[in-house]
């Protein structure tokens, strides 16, 4: 988006038009490219005929419009042919880097999510399954809401109760663990795999992880698993992808390809040429899947820190039915928050304790602060990740009949979110 002096010099020229920029005795000719909204207003960017982009400082420049922008043409890919004996896998697009491609004519990013486009980009998928792809919506993952979680759950159920052997959900990585947890709690009687997948680096980059992640996710969707999982790079190289239980995984790095790690539990599988599952997991079975999409959205995730203003927590008690505390260490918060927590108890609000350390388990009986919080009715969150406890409390408050049931369900392992102190031989 051009503004200020750059917009004046362009005199109405639009992105995609061919222009000539004349500065003194020199001139530059190419396609006018978009400009970041954070860019200054002193430069214009064009794509030269050799494919390189350059920025031209516009003081003393004149812009000549040579030809209008060519309409963006959608590349026509032939409909892929699948082997009939292969299982069917549905890929649902919700946005994110993995579902995008660069239009090099304009520099814009566009969703790329038809079956033909996916097979053209990753032809190996046709050797694994009969792919059916469609877009539910195309948003940045930070804009995900419970409304989107419900829609994904409903569409997953349709596919699993239809002809799909498994479902892959392509998702932006930043909030993938929230969506994964929501699906894990909402999908009931799950009999087939539901696999969330994304990419840290877009497909136009040589270091992209998109293709390998998608191949591995599709393999997992045809496996013996019957859980909601996240499949992403296991290491920074292209050796393998890890299979993480959706209620135990977190994005632990902003940009590394192996950003996703299982917390307080090992991954439940690995994908190289084949899928290798290990440990306790729910296995594929028969029966209809259904979704309980009830979620109480009046839940807050509150981080405790030194010097925190008690009024912030008082505000949450006023507005929300449930509060997940991200406390310190074994599950502590500053004493100045105690009156607000006591009021929350007296008014029937659910308060759950988790820890900011992420690794380890809440144990509120060790120190006096924790014991006082237990006496105030705080529910220990065991080893649940704060965001998982947040999503779980939304689910539990929507389905529980009373305060005792809320406590009981929060302490019960519903979807693998709590690691038993002694690991069982069979899945929870």
- Going by C-alpha positions, the residue among 299, 302, 326 that lies closest to residue 313 is 302
> How many CB atoms are closer than 10 A to CB 190?
24
Whether 303 sits among the annotated catalytic residues: the reply is no
Neighbouring C-alpha atoms within 13 Å toward the C-beta of 257:
22
Q: What is the DSSP letter of 87?
A: P
- Going by C-alpha positions, the residue among 265, 247, 221 that lies closest to residue 129 is 221
Whether 94 sits among the annotated catalytic residues: the reply is no
Q: What is the DSSP letter of 73?
A: P
**Which candidate in 132, 248, 251, 261 is catalytic?**
251
Whether 191 sits among the annotated catalytic residues: the reply is no
Q: Is 248 exposed, middle or buried (0-12, 13-18, 19+ CB in 10 A)?
A: buried
**Which candidate in 41, 174, 224, 363 is catalytic?**
174
**Which candidate in 94, 106, 115, 173 is catalytic?**
173
Q: Tell me the residue length of the chain.
A: 428
Strands 194-197 and 53-57: unpaired
Output the six-digit token pair for 274: 């084949």
Whether 97 sits among the annotated catalytic residues: the reply is yes
Residues 417, 427: Cα–Cα separation, whole Å: 12
**Which candidate in 47, 90, 94, 97 is catalytic?**
97
> How many CB atoms are closer than 10 A to CB 41?
15
Residues 72, 118: Cα–Cα separation, whole Å: 19
DSSP string of 203-232, one letter each residue: TTSTT--HHHHHHHHHHHHTSSB-SEEEEE
First to last CA, the chain: 53
- Give the catalytic positions in this structure: 97, 173-174, 251
């Amino acid at each position: 988006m051009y503004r200020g002096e750059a917009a004046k010099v362009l005199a109405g020229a639009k992105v995609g038009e061919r222009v000539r920029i004349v500065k003194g005795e020199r001139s530059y000719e190419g396609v006018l490219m978009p400009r970041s909204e954070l860019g200054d207003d002193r430069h214009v960017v064009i794509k030269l005929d050799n494919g390189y982009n350059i920025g031209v400082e516009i003081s003393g420049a004149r812009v000549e419009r040579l030809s209008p922008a060519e309409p963006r043409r959608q590349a026509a890919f032939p409909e892929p042919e699948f082997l009939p004996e292969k299982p069917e896998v549905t890929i649902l697009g919700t946005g994110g880097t993995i579902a995008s491609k660069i239009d090099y004519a304009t520099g814009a990013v566009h969703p790329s999510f038809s079956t033909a486009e996916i097979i053209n980009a990753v032809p190996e998928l046709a050797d694994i399954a009969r792919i059916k792809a469609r877009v539910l919506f195309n948003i940045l993952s930070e804009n995900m809401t419970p409304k989107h979680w419900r829609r994904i759950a409903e569409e997953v159920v349709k596919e699993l109760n239809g002809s799909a052997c498994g479902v892959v959900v392509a998702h932006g990585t930043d909030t993938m663990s929230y969506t994964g947890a929501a699906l894990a709690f909402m999908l009931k009687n799950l009999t087939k795999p539901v696999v969330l997948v994304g990419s840290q680096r877009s497909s136009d980059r040589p270091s992209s992880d998109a293709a390998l992640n998608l191949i591995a996710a599709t393999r997992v969707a045809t496996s013996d698993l019957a859980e909601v999982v996240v499949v992403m790079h296991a290491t920074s190289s292209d050796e393998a992808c890890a299979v993480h239980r959706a209620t135990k995984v977190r994005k632990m790095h902003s940009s590394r390809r192996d950003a996703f790690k299982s917390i307080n539990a090992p991954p439940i599988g690995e994908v190289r040429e084949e899928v290798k599952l290990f440990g306790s997991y729910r296995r594929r079975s028969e029966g209809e899947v259904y979704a309980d999409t009830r979620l109480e959205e009046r839940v807050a995730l509150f981080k405790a820190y030194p010097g925190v203003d008690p009024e912030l927590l008082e505000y949450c008690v006023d507005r929300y039915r449930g509060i997940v505390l991200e406390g310190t260490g074994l599950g502590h918060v500053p004493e100045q928050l105690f009156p607000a927590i006591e009021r929350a108890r007296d008014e029937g609000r659910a308060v759950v304790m988790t820890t900011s350390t992420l690794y380890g388990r809440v144990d509120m009986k060790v120190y006096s602060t924790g014991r006082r919080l237990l006496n105030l009715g705080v529910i220990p969150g065991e080893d649940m990740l704060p965001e998982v406890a947040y999503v779980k409390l939304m689910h539990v408050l929507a389905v529980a009949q009373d305060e005792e049931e809320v406590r009981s369900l929060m302490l019960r392992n519903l979807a693998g979110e709590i690691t038993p102190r002694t690991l069982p031989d069979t899945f929870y």
